[in-house]
Amino acid sequence: MVDKEQKIQVIVRKRPLNSKEISKGDQDILHRTSSDTLVVREQKLKVDLTKFIEEHHFTFDGVYNEDTTNQELYVSAIQPIVQASFQGAKVTCFAYGQTGSGKTFTMMGEGSIPGLYLLASTDLFYYRDQYFRNIKFTVSFYEIYCGKLHDLLNERNQLFAREDAKQIVNIVGLQNKPVETVEALMKIISTGMEFRTTGQTGANDDSSRSHAILEINLKQGKKLVGKMSFIDLAGSERGADVSGADFKTRMDGAEINKSLLALKECIRALDQEKRHTPFRGSKLTQVLKDSFLGNCRTVMIANVSPGLLSCEHTLNTLRYADRVKELKKGDKGPREDKLANALMLPRQNANVVRYNVDDTEETLPPPKPIKNEEESSRLLFKKPNKDDNKFKSKIGSGISGGKNTAQNPYIAPPKTVGKKAPQANMEDLSEKHEQLIGVILAEEEDLINTHRKMIDEMVDMIKHQMQLLGEVDKPGSDVDNYVRELDTVLSIKEDMIKGIREKLRVFNDHLRQEEELTLVFEKNKAVMDVFNLDIHDDDLLQDIDD
């Protein structure tokens, strides 16, 4: 189904509707039209309650239906890279998708059904015993949570990634355990999974909030001859799904989104053979640096849920996977599509078809093919006119014009008497929220480091003061020198305390701004949910507010 010699493969796996979705009357909106094409038929409702369907067409290296078994998926996409690991390659398999989309079933299996971990482990030991008997396996298992590394095989001890003079990233303190059997390897994986960080979100009560990385090293003596990495990425949710959660959950979500964006850029740079690969975009890409250089092979499995109720999450997963692997079709696309590509937006000019649905129609019609790109481009990518930016112009004038009052850039403009303030643009709110979370994460690390440094310096000062007291107690001591030294020490203390208090004040201000911004986001989301709008319907949202 897929080209087994490709350096990067992005495949999609659709799971069947589960019993809970069937009991709710959920519908299957995903349709595999060919071995590499998937169509999402999203049912939507206009403000006037007219039903219509948006069809989203996606093309990947391979698309697997709900009747595909783990064994068939493994043989088609994963087995070739397992074999490549014995030929000196560093191979990586990513599992990505919304929580509840079948990632755990794909990777771990269920009951008597083996997952990719077990199937790959069985083949690794089979190839070793048959053809490479001098190769030994060592295993490490760690997670990345909120930008910090924790060893899942050593009671979640914190680890540190260090880059040496040869620009090789080493994980200090990581345990590598030797394994001799498939059973021993699976026991290690099960032990590590018990320590993995999970949390509650709007999409799932037990969502994975960390990236789990299983590394199997193939060694001849002390020489590394190959490596296979399985990476179970954190459950992907929209910011809206964690907006009502506590601050820690929102921070988790922002860090997850940051690392996923950095991963996408690294894989695209690798696939397009760019001169620079942005490894330092996140801890995830930093520790996987050697998996992106030299002789390497990568497979990303995007797991998607078929139900209409999961449509938004499914589209987000497919759009992410679509942007990870740009299937090379030349540079004949329009300028707008290149911009959308850079911004990781859906290709609305080429892969979306809209049509109305009769009220009496109970089942979804078959997918409508796209006639040509020009027709869909005229319909969905029309040039903006002067009125299209009326919302943005109102916002701009409200901030820059009028009174010289300072306006918080992270909070929607306050309402004034006699004139309603326009609704905040949801895309702008989301972007500002992610920027603010990034600032808060950086300030948190800086505050902790400053506090730690202050304590170290305080200890040195205490030792110095004890020495001063010992000298001033001696007969004939220089009291003037004692007074000068004490005054200097106290001045340094005051400056240190003032500095850390200022950092603490700024940090608290940004925490408060994040809370207020979240409230604004939730208010706008509630309005959009009532009228079944999306983030592109800002004009309709403004009309409703008026």
Q: Give residue-wise pLDDT tens across range 372-416.
A: 444 433 333 344 444 444 433 333 333 334 444 444 443 444 544
Same-domain check for residues 162 and 91? yes
Same-domain check for residues 13 and 154? yes
Whether residue 315 lies inside any domain: the answer is yes
- The pLDDT value recorded for residue 14 is 92
Q: Is residue 421 pLDDT above 60, yes or no?
A: no
Q: Is 76 part of any known ligand binding site?
A: no
Q: Is residue 358 pLDDT above 70, yes or no?
A: no
Q: Is residue 109 pLDDT above 50, yes or no?
A: yes
Which single residue is written with the structure tokens 């950095």? 262
Please give the residue that has the higher pLDDT: either 502 or 99: 502
Give the separation between CA 92 and CA 77, rounded to whole angstroms: 12
Q: For residue 452, which amino acid is it?
A: R
Please give the residue that has the higher pLDDT: either 433 or 125: 125
The two structure tokens encoding residue 288: 């996987």
End-to-end CA distance of the chain: 53
| Rg, C-alpha atoms of the chain | 28
* SS3 state at 43: strand
Q: Which of 187-196, 513-522, 526-535 has the lowest mean pLDDT?
A: 526-535
Average pLDDT over residues 524-534: 60
- The pLDDT value recorded for residue 477 is 81
Q: What range does the domain containing 160 cover?
A: 8-358
Whether residue 71 lies inside any domain: the answer is yes
Place 355 in a pLDDT band, splitting at 50, 70 and 90.
Answer: low
Cβ-contact 425, 413 below 8 angstroms: no
Give the separation between CA 235 and CA 217, rounded to whole angstroms: 26
Which of 358, 390, 411 is the last residue before a domain boundary?
358
For residue 387, the number of C-alpha atoms closer than 13 Å in the C-beta half-sphere is 3
Hey, which of 237-241, 274-278, 462-466 has the most confident mean pLDDT? 462-466
Whether residue 287 lies inside any domain: the answer is yes
Same-domain check for residues 426 and 297? no
Kindly tell me the sign of the dihedral angle through the C-alpha atoms of 119, 120, 124, 127.
positive
Q: Which residues pair with 136 in a beta bridge?
A: 219
Place 332 in a pLDDT band, splitting at 50, 70 and 90.
Answer: very low
Which of 293, 326, 358 is the last residue before a domain boundary?
358
The two structure tokens encoding residue 160: 């540190």
The two structure tokens encoding residue 481: 């020198």
8-14/296-304 β-pairing: parallel
Same-domain check for residues 292 and 405? no
Chain-centre distance of CA 399, in angstroms?
32
Q: Is 98 part of any known ligand binding site?
A: yes
Q: Is 103 part of any known ligand binding site?
A: yes
Same-domain check for residues 302 and 403? no
Write the DSSP symbol of residue 76. Answer: I
- pLDDT tens digit sequence for 18-33: 888 888 888 888 999 8
Q: Is residue 162 pLDDT above 90, yes or no?
A: no
Same-domain check for residues 282 and 322? yes
Cβ-contact 321, 101 below 8 angstroms: no
Place 236 in a pLDDT band, splitting at 50, 70 and 90.
Answer: low
Same-domain check for residues 389 and 354? no
Cβ-contact 325, 94 below 8 angstroms: no
CATH code: domain of residue 83: 3.40.850.10
Q: Is residue 121 pLDDT above 80, yes or no?
A: yes
Q: Is 100 part of any known ligand binding site?
A: yes
Same-domain check for residues 296 and 392? no
Whether residue 318 lies inside any domain: the answer is yes
Whether residue 373 lies inside any domain: the answer is no
Give the residue ranges of DSSP H helices in 354-408: 373-380, 390-400
φ, ψ at 375 (rounded to 5°): -65, -50
Whether residue 364 lies inside any domain: the answer is no
Same-domain check for residues 422 and 476? yes
Q: Per the structure, how many domains does the chain have?
A: 2
Please give the residue that has the higher pLDDT: either 15 or 361: 15
Q: What is the average pLDDT value for the chain, to the nearest integer?
A: 75
Same-domain check for residues 353 and 386? no
Average pLDDT over residues 441-446: 82
Whether residue 370 lies inside any domain: the answer is no
Q: Is 109 part of any known ligand binding site?
A: no
- pLDDT tens digit sequence for 142-152: 998 877 889 99
* SS3 state at 126: helix
Q: Is 101 part of any known ligand binding site?
A: yes
Q: What percent of the chain has pLDDT over 90?
A: 18
Give the separation between CA 221 and CA 506, rounded to whole angstroms: 53
Same-domain check for residues 341 and 427? no
Hey, which of 47-51, 451-455, 534-538 has the most confident mean pLDDT? 451-455
Q: Is 470 part of any known ligand binding site?
A: no
Place 533 in a pLDDT band, splitting at 50, 70 and 90.
Answer: low
Q: What percent of the chain has pLDDT over 70?
A: 68
Residue 283: Cβ-neighbour burial (10 angstroms; 0-12, 13-18, 19+): buried
Same-domain check for residues 39 and 160? yes
Give the separation between CA 141 and CA 132, rounded to whole angstroms: 24
- The pLDDT value recorded for residue 207 is 52
Whether residue 377 lies inside any domain: the answer is no
